[in-house]
Structure formats: structure tokens, C-alpha cells
Structure 1
């Protein structure tokens, strides 16, 4: 279970409502839409889903609307409470809610779920051993041939988006160079595509494909938000084209978020 004083839990307990609102924002919609595109392409059409790092339930609601049986797992009590409220507002019912860390899914047996999402834990588990433990727990609870989407924070994308998101940090050139590697920023872990794929392979999960959540629009947050306000038709075309091309190698390695689709070998 999550330990007392867990800084990730504290952060999300204090920012639960903001996390619910985040995926409604013009640029963050890319992250959500690209994930749903992968779910539509690679998930089974029905079955038991474990949403690990469920947050306030945005993805769970979409999965429930599609007829999946969804169990939500999160380190934050407040996020789970908000997820329960939002799911109820949509006249939906989840299979269950579990407050725990992604590296401890001991409440579940083996081979339980047909598919899973792990979209958040791998960039909040700052210790490599904990990330590998989370991946092995994911593998344990998935059925044979089960499918999952795992998200990592990509430093190669952060070095672009940071120009608008945290420009003051660029006064330190060494900080900029650090983003090209692997490291931690407070409660956030960032990595490179090769290292992320290596961790997944070490946990003996088979990589099916991976995508850059923001596609060719990665690093363009101010421009995308401006376009959404001024030209909604053009904005919608950018969203749809970006998610449809998000698996192309020329774009995916330079995005802030990597969505990695895996299965049980």
C-alpha cells in the first residue's frame, strides 16, 4: 500500500480537481485522444480492464461507456473519490476501486485482467527498482495474451516543451542537457525511448508498438492552444492527424509522453 507521506499521493490529493480538468485543455487533449486511439486499435473488444494510475477516472469512464468491466487503482485517495463521483454522475459503475501503489498489486491474483492501462505510475516511480516491480506486477495480473498501454515521460520531448512550460530553467544550460538523458525532477521521472523500452523488455513484456502522445504537435502547446481558440476546424484537423500519425518513428521519439503498447509473450 502507499506509504504515509508519499509525495506523489500528497501532490494529487491536493490537485485532484485540476487533474480532472487537465485533459479537457486544448493541448492535453492530444494525450487523451492518442491513448484512446491506441485502445481502439489494440485492446480486446470486451473484458476486464485494470486502470493502474487511474487518476480521476477520465479513461475509466470512456472504457465503461464501451462496455468494459473496469477496476481503478491509484495512489491518491482524493483521485479515487473524485473518480467514483464522476463515474456515478455518468450513471456508470466500476468493478472496484483500490488505493495502492502500482508496484504492489497484491490485492489481485494472477491472470485476472484482459487489458490494462499504466499511464502515470512509470513517471512517478523515481526508483528504477520500483518501476521494474510495477511492470512485473502488471505482467502478473494480466491474462495470457493480455494487452496494456504503459506511459513514460520522455526527456527528448520535455526539452522542447520546456521552452514554454518552464523557460526560467533554461538559464542553466546543464539543466537543458540533463533532459537528453534519464533523471528525476521532484516527483517526476523522465527517460529516453530506448531506456523505457529496455525496462519493459527487462520485465519480460513484449512490445507491440509505441506512440508519441502528441504526435507531430509535440512541443507546440502555445500554438495549439491559440489555434483551438482562433480556428476550431484547423485545431480539430491537427488533433486527428496527430493521433493518426503518432506511431510514426519520425515523431514519436520527440514527444513529451510515450504510450507503449505491450503484451504477454
Structure 2
């Protein structure tokens, strides 16, 4: 995991969500739709805490965890800077596969919007979801992010030089079978795992969750910067309508495979 920690030590994840606001805004729309009206929320694998700050603004009690201590520190600083620190119960550096510092049945809702991206071993993915299940209250709502394998194949075909070793058909074929991607270039997004879409719901249900919805966080991910600039230059009204279109199409099952990220929404089953 050291290469992953090093990557996030240098990468501006807060800035990414500012520069690419559609993913955040679509996710936040669906998170607000399903969150309980009040209560405690775990933001597990929170990075610098972009979602945590919104949860705090909405009046939830928030616990933030992330694998990278630097990002936990940034999140705590952000909370202080924004005057939101009183809404946080804790900031912890923690591995999603081992949340032993957190009690069972502790949270009314939980987010896990990153850890499954980097767990290439199936047993670790299962551990992370089982830990999420353990710390969530009965009937608590969870929001779990996945990266779809189909989209990464398309990205590799579109820009092979950006996704080495997926710059050969042999490598793309191997990736299509395994879902594991380790970047050939140092300092790039690496140690990643991408799910086949049809595996996501059975995976979550096998680990104790009832499925509520699976949406595409950014079904417009195939749009170029030039395309987005065009709509942006047409003014705020057209950009708002574009966002609403992406929100509406997020739940279209036929578009999930072109979204850069997916958001699974489920409920912890009764024992």
C-alpha cells in the first residue's frame, strides 16, 4: 500500500473534485436523497474530507477515516478553517479493512468512496465491506464507490500512452480478465481494482446489504474538456441543465459502463 499512500500524498484530491464538480454534485444529490434526516455518519476513506464537510454543514455528527495520515491532517485543518470542527467526533488514520478503533453498530449511515479502488485482493475487499457492515447500525444506509472495468478499458483504448501498461491489446485483455491495474509509470494512479458492473450488487448483498440503487457518478466522463468548456461558456443556465441531465441519467443502467465511478446505495439487513 506504500505506493498508494505516496500517490495520495502528492495528489490534490480536494482539487480534483473542485476541477471536476459533476462527480461530486451527482453523488451528493443521491447521498442527500437517501441519508437519514439526522444522526452519526462515518466517512471511511474520506481523503481530505470534501464529503465530510458537506455532511457537517448539514448537521450530521461525522467521523472521518483515511489510510493516508497526511489527508486526515488536511481534513482536520479544513474543518477548522471552515468552522465545522465541532461537528466531527473524530479524525483517524485507518485502513478500511480494519476499523477496530470503531465500535460495532455505531453509525446511522456510512460512506466508503475510495477504499475499494485499491484493494486488488478479493479477501481484502470482503474485509473492507464486512467492516463497513459491522460499524453501521441495523437498517443503516451505506454509500460505496466502485470503478467500472468497462470504462477503464475504454479509457485505455482512447489514451493508451496515459495508461501504461494498457497500451497493448495483450495487457488490455489481461486487465479485462483480472480487473487489476498497476501503472507502469511511477507516481501515477496505481494498485487499482475495477469491478465488472454485474458483480457489484451480488458482492454487496453477499456481505449483508440490501440494494437500494446503483448509479453512475459521472455518466458524462467520456466528454472532452473542450465539450465541457463549450457548455460552460454558454452560461450558468445551460450548465445547470447539463448537471440535471447527468443526475437524471445517473440511474440509467445502460449508461453505467461509461461512468468513471459508480455509487452503490444500500441498507444493512436485519440480523
TM-score between both structures, scaled by the size of structure 2: 0.87
Aligned to 1:260: 264
2: distance between equivalents of 1:131 and 1:139?
12
Matches within 5 A, 1:8-19: 8-15=4-11, 18-19=12-13
2: distance between equivalents of 1:139 and 1:128?
17
Aligned to 1:114: 108
1: distance between equivalents of 2:101 and 2:77?
23
1: distance between equivalents of 2:24 and 2:170?
32
1: distance between equivalents of 2:149 and 2:111?
21
Alpha-carbon deviation of 1:165? 5.2
Cα RMSD, aligned residues only: 1.9
Query: 2:147, 2:260 within 8 Å by CA — same for their partners in 1?
Result: yes
* Residue 131 (structure 1) aligned with residue 134 (structure 2): no
2: distance between equivalents of 1:223 and 1:177?
30
What SS class does the counterpart of residue 255 from structure 2 fall into? helix
2: distance between equivalents of 1:182 and 1:235?
37
* Deviating 4+ runs (over 6 angstroms): none
Aligned to 2:253: 249
Alpha-carbon deviation of 1:71? 0.5
Aligned to 1:41: 33
Query: 1:160, 1:219 within 8 Å by CA — same for their partners in 2?
Result: no
* Residue 87 (structure 1) aligned with residue 91 (structure 2): no
Change in Cα spacing, 1:237 to 1:181, as seen in structure 2 (3 Å) is farther
Matches within 5 A, 1:193-212: 193-212=197-216
Alpha-carbon deviation of 1:223? 4.2
Aligned to 1:145: 139
What SS class does the counterpart of residue 95 from structure 1 fall into? strand
Aligned to 1:218: 221
Alpha-carbon deviation of 1:63? 0.5
Change in Cα spacing, 1:163 to 1:24, as seen in structure 2 (3 Å) is farther
What SS class does the counterpart of residue 214 from structure 1 fall into? coil
Write the deviation string for residues 215-236 of structure 1: whole angstroms up to 9, x where unpaired. 3x13224344423553333333
2: distance between equivalents of 1:238 and 1:161?
22
Deviates more, 1:136-145 or 1:203-212: 203-212
Query: 1:113, 1:142 within 8 Å by CA — same for their partners in 2?
Result: yes
* Residue 184 (structure 1) aligned with residue 180 (structure 2): yes
Unaligned runs of 5+ in 1: none
Write the deviation string for residues 127-155 of structure 1: whole angstroms up to 9, x where unpaired. 11001001000000000110011011111
* Equivalenced residues, count: 256
Change in Cα spacing, 1:179 to 1:144, as seen in structure 2 (3 Å) is same
Unaligned runs of 5+ in 2: 183-190
Query: 1:161, 1:220 within 8 Å by CA — same for their partners in 2?
Result: no
Alpha-carbon deviation of 1:57? 0.8
Change in Cα spacing, 1:143 to 1:221, as seen in structure 2 (3 Å) is farther
